[in-house]
Amino acid sequence: MPSPADEGRNFLPHKEILVIRSLRRCCFSLAVVAAMTLPAAAATQLTGAGSSFDYPFFSKAFYVYNQKNPDVTVNYQSIGSGGGIAQFSARNVDFGATDVPMNAGELTRAPGTVLQIPVTLGGAAIAYNLPGVTTMHLTRQVLADIYLGKILKWNDPQIAKLNKGVNLPDMSIVVVHRSDGSGTSYIFTDFLSHVSADWKSKVGTGKSVSWPAPSSVGAKGTEGVAGQVKSTPGAIGYVEMAYVVENNMTAVLLQNKAGKWVACTPDTVAAAAASKPEVSATNFSIVDSAAAGAYPISGYSWVVVYKKPTDRAKELYDVLSWLVGPQGQANAKSVDYVPLPRNVQEAAAATLRQMQR
Amino acid sequence: MENAGPQFRRVARFVSPADRGFAAIVYAGSILFALLIVGLFVELVLGSWPSIVKFGPGFIFSSSWDPITSKFGALPMIFGTVMTSLIAIVLAAFIGIMAAVFLADFAPRWLGQPLSFLIELLAAVPSVVYGLWGLFVLSPFMRTTLGPALQHVLGWTPLFSGPILGVGLLTGGIILALMILPTVTAISRDVIAAIPRDLREASMALGSTKWETAMKVVLPAARVGIFGACVLALGRALGETIAVTMVIGNRPEISSSLFAPSYTLASVIANEFTEATTSIYISALIELGLILFLVSMVVNALARLMIWSVRGSERV
């Protein structure tokens, strides 16, 4: 008979292998992180952190900038808006990026006066999955009622009334939302709060909220929501504009405040932004715009910098003013982002000029 | 085993400084481990203190999770974490032990070795890959095929009633089962292989078939080791994050149906930590981490107790 000690010992080799394996994995990931964060051999290295929404646009734009100005590189870490604000407030990075401007509390906690500059635009399309239904018209109120859980079936009279001649199936609506805190959720819930008093009082506006619909499902990331909608007949969900195009999804035509039926496209999102050139960090919401061609679920993404940066102020100013100017914004379209309208570009440049350099 | 320690020390004192140095390193290593655990616990308690003060024990029993109004409760997440891990360990233990018996006692060498290698390879697949596979393959399969089949047969129980969304407790449990299967199988195989040949030969000599030997002699002899494998696997299941997040449906709600969406402690943290801004929100998320830590500890302690009760007075 084996003694208990023998039996115990039999575990050891395997445990050791597991430990060695995980150590090896740690070393490897450390090396990768080091390789990514170590500065390249360049004269000036600017660092930024924050919103993952901005990441594809920033990668492209900063790459182009570096091609033109080889002595300046920008290292942007896509760690989420909350993390970006934290890193920026600790002065660990030269600039932060966030989908929702820093609020009063965050501004007082920051160690200096903060300038908040809009850098890019995004819109949330309402994607759906109904076999055989290729066009779907929804009013803002009906969309809000779906997300509130008041409308539960696709053949509900309120939906049928808007889609005459469409054969709507007797199918439950599966409401899909982002499970991770996100700027897209913020814009979408901001929109719902604007169009529905019920939503405003029961749920509210935020990056993460308590979703009331009984058949709601949370999916991680835009790709998660897109995947969930695509694989679930009867599902509806909000996804960033670019995803709908890239993934061949069908999206709802939404009736805007002016009564027009609009799809989520770069033009309709830009129209929403252009209707409010006086945008600022305290008055930034462009959802439910009254302009005729405006898509109602649109919003800005922001860069935050200190009015008096401790270091590299000149380079930082140059990069950012290029980014919000026509040349920087020209990179947005190639990665399916919406360039800032001309009047907003000018406003952003004016804010940026307050920076001491 | 109990008297081995003192003897070792006495010899070391007189004979070799190298032995003493080695002993010091070994001691330092284990003390470091203990310090790490204590440090982690202290850090979690400090971080979650504002939330503990504000919500008190009600945090554990409340079902609302609303960042807007700062009302936080962990009950649905505790439920989701324990349920998915239970489903996972039940499935993985059954399949894994059977596979281990096959690999150790039944498989011919040419088949057993490549199979073992493949199973260990499964352990190296990153969890996000499991998650994506779960989202794009398993959850549609659950919605169209497996779910309706289960509902057809077992739909009369509350466990398998309600709408099948594809994502939910059961899908999360199955993904977890796949992820912990290599741990259960590989360790159980090693434990079974280490059972002395004498036992098997004695059993065969008494006229048992190969099957009877495996089930009635080898497995009982290996039960403590196999149990250890399951505890190790369960630990991984409790803390697994990304793969589960992608298929669980992320809804903080307790439902009797295994098809319903649910939420786990680790998933909430992964989902919401990066964008959490108010301090009470962050503190509540850290308290979820503290609860996960405690749940893992309770589960491990229970497992330890079960091993003790199986082994009687022998302490492992």
Residue range A22-35, pLDDT digits in tens: 555 555 555 555 55
Residue labelled with tokens 């399949």: B95
Query: Is the separation of the CB atoms in A263 and A153 below 8 Å?
Result: no
ipTM of the complex: 0.81
The runs of H, that is alpha helices, within B194-278 are 197-205, 210-212, 219-221, 223-239, 242-247, 265-272
Please indicate whether, in this complex, the C-beta atoms of A172 and B163 are within 8 angstroms of each other: yes
What is the reported pLDDT for A3? 44
What is the reported pLDDT for B123? 87
What is the reported pLDDT for A201? 95
Q: How far is A76 from chain B (nearest CA, A)?
A: 16
What is the reported pLDDT for B278? 82
Query: How many residues would you count in chain B?
Result: 316
Mean pLDDT of A39-47: 70
Residue range A247-260, pLDDT digits in tens: 888 999 999 999 99
Burial string for A15-43 (b: 16+ CB within 10 Å, else e) reads eeeeeeeeeeeeeeeeeeeeeeeeeeeee
Q: Which chain B residue is nearest to residue A205, measuring alpha carbons? A: B68
Q: Which chain A residue is nearest to residue B141, measuring alpha carbons? A: A231
Mean pLDDT of B66-82: 93
Q: How far is A186 from chain B (nearest CA, A)?
A: 11
d(CA B87, CA A78): 35
Burial string for A150-167 (b: 16+ CB within 10 Å, else e) reads bbeebebeebeebbeebe
Cβ-nearest to B251 among A181, A206, A217: A217
Cβ-nearest to A180 among B143, B252, B271: B271
What is the reported pLDDT for A1? 40
Q: Which residues pair with A122 in a beta bridge?
A: A299
What is the reported pLDDT for A4? 42
Q: Which residues of B touch A181 (CB under 8 A)?
A: 67, 271-272, 274-276
